[in-house]
Chain A
């Protein structure tokens, strides 16, 4: 079957036609022969029946009357019919009444007789039985045997004829089909050739000539359509390709330009940002420096006062009296005992020295006290300067410390200012938590908040201004620090804007402090928010911080180095 599949369509067509023809012819021949043999047999039987009928009719008197010779005479007439070679008449008891056989015939008479007219084919003979009767009675049976050599001869002839016809027709069929198969195979071959050419040359402009409107014609048309489509698509593709190349080129150029522009802009932006950052930083430092110097100045006042006081005291000291006593004692060096015991002056001397000592003691205590204050103030100055130094450095070191100390630290930086301006500081420390954080940052935020509150009070022009500091633990592991003042307050429109970079309501402000504070708080995993009922209603700044810093915020800086971001969207932290 596979081999058949691989042979040429030309041979396949011839084979198919031949096979079909052969099968059809064989069926026709076999059917014809079988029908002919059947009809021949039927004819033979009919003929024999007629003959038997006639002979039986003629034999009836002989059998009934009993003239066997006459019966045999009648049987002898069968000699004229070639295939008949044996005939016999039986009486009604089944005994042989008379018989005739062709010379050399095989005289084997049937052993038993059928009850009625019948025939059978057996042993190459047709055996025919016919009743011998008159209208009124049955007298016997006639048996005629007929050879079937004719049938065999006929059969043999048919086989030969069939083969001859088959051979002849196959030859003719082969000749015709070999010629006719071109009707189908030629268009296919031409199509095949075309497809080969198309495949070899990649030439889609080739068209196959269609021969008609049949399936092959449609196939060719379809093939041509396909070629046309492929060609069109090819051209379109080519065009598209060219266009694409052009477009890509253009786009690449554009992109290159764009990228260059963007890079330039970015560089500019980065530089600008850096400048801005630096400016902000310097401004911040300047503010801090101003505050610090102010505070240092204040403390220096106290130092000055203390120094003057000490100087005054030293000037007004009773040391001179001590010298007078010393001179007196020296004067009475020879008779000191007497002087002390007898002289009035001497008698009072002891009391006087005692009083002087007491006075000097008090003087010394006061001086020491003042000196202590002086020392404290100088320490304070040292601290302020140290804090300022710590401001300047970006430490980023997390350490555990009491929040209250931090607040107090911040306050101390402003405490003399408060004293001078008669600002009341109310401390409402509901909890005194230990916080693990970068203390410099918190200090910076809190100092900024306190400075803002102070400025707000100053601006309001109130002499009895009050700043309230509240510490409370809220939620799980979070601490809330509130810095409230009853100063100028914040307009609702500005509640969020105050945290924007460069926004300020102060005449000499630079809009950096709160922006920095909010960012730093966020960096530390906390938040800085503002609340105010409106202008002249005071304001509360709330700093919420975790008691321990979030893991991710460690060692991260507030300002990314290269990129600038809008203030409100620092969710993404660069590390």
Chain B
């Protein structure tokens, strides 16, 4: 039921574009993940320093190879987070990562995850990823496929480290809450 709801929402968002049967299940799952990331962000509060001013946009960034196949813009088109317009950025390497608020770490960077997280330590960035054990490894929110549904795990220690305030009402929706700090 949930999956239907989500895919419907995503489908609506992608409405104009015909989905080809050739497209992999991976792409579809990633699209859902993008939507979920957007929803989760609604219940997380960034510290005041994360934004320069009232008109500062909300930056949704992707590190590494874009798993959304260019559909991210469509998904987040005309949307706001924390009443700020969403701006999408793509970084190839951790060194390139500039100011952003959500950073989706692509599966392509799986091997560099510890290094990346270490680099980002202390910065108010919500790190999300779809690779296995992402949250356990130090990411704030890690998406997990349960059957055909996309669920998420939450690493509270990581969120605290990133000075992100996760609302209590969100926590009940995580399939797992971890308190494991980054080594």
How many angstroms between the C-alpha atoms of A68 and B81 in the bound complex? 23
Pair B172/A134 contact, Cβ less than 8 Å: no
Q: Which residues of B contact A67 (CB under 8 A)?
A: 2, 172-173
Return A59 CB to nearest CB of chain B, in Å.
8
Tell whether A344 is near chain B: CB-to-CB under 8 Å. Answer: no
Instruction: State which of B36-44, B48-56, B94-102, B103-111 sits at the interface with chain A.
Output: B36-44
Tell whether B80 is near chain A: CB-to-CB under 8 Å. Answer: yes
Q: Which residues of A contact B42 (CB under 8 A)?
A: 61, 64, 134-137
Tell whether A49 is near chain B: CB-to-CB under 8 Å. Answer: no
Return B146 CB to nearest CB of chain A, in Å.
11
Most chain B CB inside 10 Å of its own CB: which residue of A60, A65, A70, A74: A65
Tell whether A66 is near chain B: CB-to-CB under 8 Å. Answer: yes
Contact with A along B146-183 (1 / 0, CB 8 A): 00010010000000000000010110110000000000
Pair B169/A60 contact, Cβ less than 8 Å: yes
Pair A65/B169 contact, Cβ less than 8 Å: no
Q: Which residues of B contact A64 (CB under 8 A)?
A: 39, 42
Tell whether A62 is near chain B: CB-to-CB under 8 Å. Answer: yes
How many angstroms between the C-alpha atoms of A136 and B83 in the bound complex? 7
Q: Which residues of A contact B169 (CB under 8 A)?
A: 57-58, 60-62
Answer whether A70 and B79 are a contact pair too, CB < 8 Å, given A61-B43, A134-B42: no
Pair A136/B2 contact, Cβ less than 8 Å: no
Q: Which residues of B contact A58 (CB under 8 A)?
A: 169
How many angstroms between the C-alpha atoms of A91 and B6 in the bound complex? 11
Pair B172/A65 contact, Cβ less than 8 Å: no
How many angstroms between the C-alpha atoms of A247 and B126 in the bound complex? 137
How many angstroms between the C-alpha atoms of A73 and B174 in the bound complex? 13
Partner of B5, one of A60, A66, A70, A137: A66
Return A67 CB to nearest CB of chain B, in Å.
4
Tell whether B1 is near chain A: CB-to-CB under 8 Å. Answer: yes
Q: Which residues of B contact A65 (CB under 8 A)?
A: 36, 39-40, 152, 170, 173
Q: Which residues of B contact A134 (CB under 8 A)?
A: 42-43
A-B CB contacts (within 8 Å), total count: 50
Q: Is the interface of B mostly helix, strand, loop or mixed?
A: mixed
Q: Which residues of A contact B83 (CB under 8 A)?
A: 135-136
How many angstroms between the C-alpha atoms of A64 and B80 in the bound complex? 15
Nearest chain-A residue to B36 (Cβ)?
A65
Most chain A CB inside 10 Å of its own CB: which residue of B36, B39, B149: B39
Tell whether B82 is near chain A: CB-to-CB under 8 Å. Answer: yes
Q: Which residues of A contact B2 (CB under 8 A)?
A: 66-68
How many angstroms between the C-alpha atoms of A68 and B80 in the bound complex? 25
Return B10 CB to nearest CB of chain A, in Å.
11
Q: Is the interface of A mostly helix, strand, loop or mixed?
A: helix
Return B96 CB to nearest CB of chain A, in Å.
29
Pair B172/A68 contact, Cβ less than 8 Å: no
Pair B81/A136 contact, Cβ less than 8 Å: yes
Within 8 A of B (CB), among A39-98: 57-58, 60-62, 64-68, 70, 73-74, 91
Q: Which residues of B contact A62 (CB under 8 A)?
A: 169, 172-173
Contact with A along B14-48 (1 / 0, CB 8 A): 00000000000000000000001001101100000
Pair B80/A61 contact, Cβ less than 8 Å: no
Pair B170/A61 contact, Cβ less than 8 Å: yes
Return B170 CB to nearest CB of chain A, in Å.
5
Nearest chain-B residue to A62 (Cβ)?
B173
Nearest chain-B residue to A58 (Cβ)?
B169
Contact with B along A211-226 (1 / 0, CB 8 A): 0000000000000000
Return B57 CB to nearest CB of chain A, in Å.
14
Pair B43/A68 contact, Cβ less than 8 Å: no
How many angstroms between the C-alpha atoms of A499 and B129 in the bound complex? 171
How many angstroms between the C-alpha atoms of A62 and B172 in the bound complex? 8
Return A361 CB to nearest CB of chain B, in Å.
197
Nearest chain-A residue to B43 (Cβ)?
A61
Binding site for B on A (CB under 8 A): 57-58, 60-62, 64-68, 70, 73-74, 91, 134-137
Closest 9 CB pairs of A and B: A66-B2, A67-B173, A61-B170, A64-B39, A134-B42, A58-B169, A70-B172, A70-B173, A61-B173
A–B pairs, 15, beta carbons within 8 Å: A61-B39, A61-B42, A61-B172, A61-B173, A64-B39, A65-B152, A67-B172, A67-B173, A74-B172, A134-B42, A135-B83, A136-B79, A136-B81, A136-B82, A137-B42
Query: A67-B173, A135-B82, A137-B42 known; 19 other A-B pairs, CB under 8 Å?
Result: A57-B169, A60-B43, A60-B169, A61-B42, A61-B169, A61-B170, A61-B173, A62-B172, A65-B36, A65-B173, A66-B2, A66-B3, A67-B172, A70-B172, A74-B172, A134-B43, A136-B79, A136-B80, A136-B81
Binding site for A on B (CB under 8 A): 1-3, 5-6, 36, 39-40, 42-43, 79-83, 149, 152, 167, 169-170, 172-173
